[in-house]
Amino acid sequence: MSDDTPPADALTPAAVQRHLRAAVFGHRIFYYPSIGSTNERALELAAAGEPEGGLVVAEEQTEGRGRRDRSWASSPSLGIYASLILRPAIPAPRAPLLTFMAAIATADALNEIPGLKARIKWPNDVTVSGRKIAGVLGEVRGSDPEVREMVVGIGVNVHHLESDFPPELVARATSVRLATGRGWDRAALLARLLEDFEQGYTRALRDGPGTLLRDWQSLSALQPGDPVRVLGPAGPAQGAFSGIDEEGGLRLVVDGGRTLRVPFGEIVETLEP
Site string for ligand BTN, 43-72 (x = CB under 6 A): ------------------x--xxxx--x-x
Burial 3-15 (b: 16+ CB within 10 A, else e): eeeeeebbbbbeb
Tell me the C-alpha distance between 163 and 151, whole Å.
Answer: 30
Taking CB under 6 A as the binding criterion, the range among 15-23, 37-45, 167-175, 256-264 that sits at the site for ligand BTN is 37-45
Going by the DSSP 8-state scheme, the letter that residue 223 receives in this structure is: -
Of 147 and 240, CB closest to ligand BTN: 147
Enumerate residues 6+ apart whose C-beta is below 8 A from 105.
Answer: 193, 194, 196, 197, 200
Question: Per rule CB under 6 A, is residue 138 in the interface with ligand BTN?
Answer: no
Q: Three-state SS for 81?
A: strand
Helix (H) or strand (E) holding 110: helix 95-110
Instruction: Please pick, from the candidates 11, 20, 39, 100, the single residue that binds ligand BTN as defined by CB under 6 A.
Output: 39
Site string for ligand BTN, 145-174 (x = CB under 6 A): --------xxx-------------------
Residue list 185-224, contact with ligand BTN (CB under 6 A)? none
Instruction: Please pick, from the candidates 136, 176, 190, 228, the single residue that binds ligand BTN as defined by CB under 6 A.
Output: 136
Question: Per rule CB under 6 A, is residue 127 in the interface with ligand BTN?
Answer: no
Tell me the C-alpha distance between 212 and 199, whole Å.
Answer: 11
Task: By CB under 6 A, name the binding residues for ligand BTN.
Answer: 37-39, 61, 64-67, 70, 72, 81-83, 125, 135-137, 153-155
